[in-house]
Copies of this chain bind each other. A is one copy, B any other.
């Protein structure tokens, strides 16, 4: 079975997105948030069946770990109340997709982070999405400011209540920034990749996994720059008098396969232990075109794994087993179905 660990609802219904605009306009005007619109099941079906479900089927995957559109989380917009409202609306919409296609989609939620706010609302929402909505993980924004980077590193105690809740619920987080309001950083071309690299280096500098030995964090987009610079990171850990990365970080950190060409994937599977790699595509996401050098979609990452020179057992681990290990609640769902 093939599980895509990284899918966002980038094609959410227009009414949902318009409500967000209305919400932010009301906030700016000092008015109450308008009521959330009625969105029919058919509308949701249309957005999914023409996009993620169609592509997933065509490309031969079975299941997507599905979360709200990352670039639209925009934790820097409005204030904490606005972020809570928007987050709940987005997560509830994911729940509807999961309920319509339970065989194909399983939910991961965004968190109501807000610059300068405490992490408490995120802890509460994580509890809600896991215990009430049946989600299996969350997306954690390491820079809720949207490119100003004025919050605390992920190793700071500020984040610990969330990590405690994650450990308690046995759910992982994907470390994923949102839109950039900094003109220096293109969102998907710089901010995303920079955040991945930054998070990994924070984990090297800190001792987070001594405090949380079972905490699991997925760094998307193939780990940012990290595998390409694996020698640098091994060397920096050494210079900082940290244990080897295998012990210090790599029992807890995982990379997805959102790397949109064969040589990148080949490097990833060569350099990073197989147990740390999860299949992901982020399809209908940052890069939606066809690679003229291959004639296939850039984000059809399954093709690259299929072509990688690794064993079938290692491919199965990337496609399925690692995701089931990192997301135990997904494993439980699948086992209950006899899968």
Binding site for B on A (CB under 8 A): 142-143, 147-149, 151-153, 182-186, 188-190, 193-194, 197-198, 201-202, 204-205, 221-222, 224-225, 227-236, 238-239, 259-261, 263-264, 266-267, 270-271, 286-289, 291, 298-299
Is A259 in contact with B228, judged by CB distance below 8 angstroms? yes
Q: Which residues of B have CB within 8 Å of A238?
A: 289
How far does the alpha carbon of A198 sit from the alpha carbon of B190 in the complex, in Å? 5
Given A149-B149, A229-B260, A263-B270: A234 in contact with B184 (beta carbons within 8 A): no
What are 25 pairs between A and B in contact, CB < 8 Å? Answer: A149-B182, A152-B184, A153-B183, A186-B201, A186-B204, A186-B236, A189-B205, A190-B197, A190-B198, A193-B225, A197-B225, A222-B229, A229-B259, A230-B263, A231-B259, A231-B261, A231-B264, A232-B259, A234-B261, A235-B288, A235-B291, A239-B289, A261-B271, A264-B271, A267-B267
Q: Which residue of B lies closest to A289 (CB)?
A: B238
> Taking the full assembly, how many copies of this chain does it contain?
2
Given A236-B189, A260-B235, A264-B229: A198 in contact with B184 (beta carbons within 8 A): yes
Among A189, A221, A260, find the residue whose CB has the most chain B CB atoms closer than 10 A. Answer: A189
How far does the alpha carbon of A293 sit from the alpha carbon of B57 in the complex, in Å? 42
Distance in Å: Cβ of A301 to nearest Cβ of chain B: 10
Is A204 in contact with B227, judged by CB distance below 8 angstroms? no
Given A184-B153, A286-B236, A289-B238: A261 in contact with B198 (beta carbons within 8 A): no
Q: Which residues of B have CB within 8 Å of A221?
A: 229, 232
Q: A-B pairs with the 6 shortest C-beta distances? A: A231-B261, A231-B260, A225-B225, A235-B287, A228-B228, A189-B201
Among A201, A289, A291, find the residue whose CB has the most chain B CB atoms closer than 10 A. Answer: A201
Is A230 in contact with B183, judged by CB distance below 8 angstroms? no
Is B286 in contact with A260, judged by CB distance below 8 angstroms? no
Known: A186-B202, A232-B259; 15 extra A-B contacts, CB below 8 A, are A152-B183, A152-B184, A153-B184, A184-B198, A185-B198, A186-B236, A222-B229, A228-B259, A228-B267, A229-B259, A230-B261, A235-B287, A235-B298, A235-B299, A264-B267
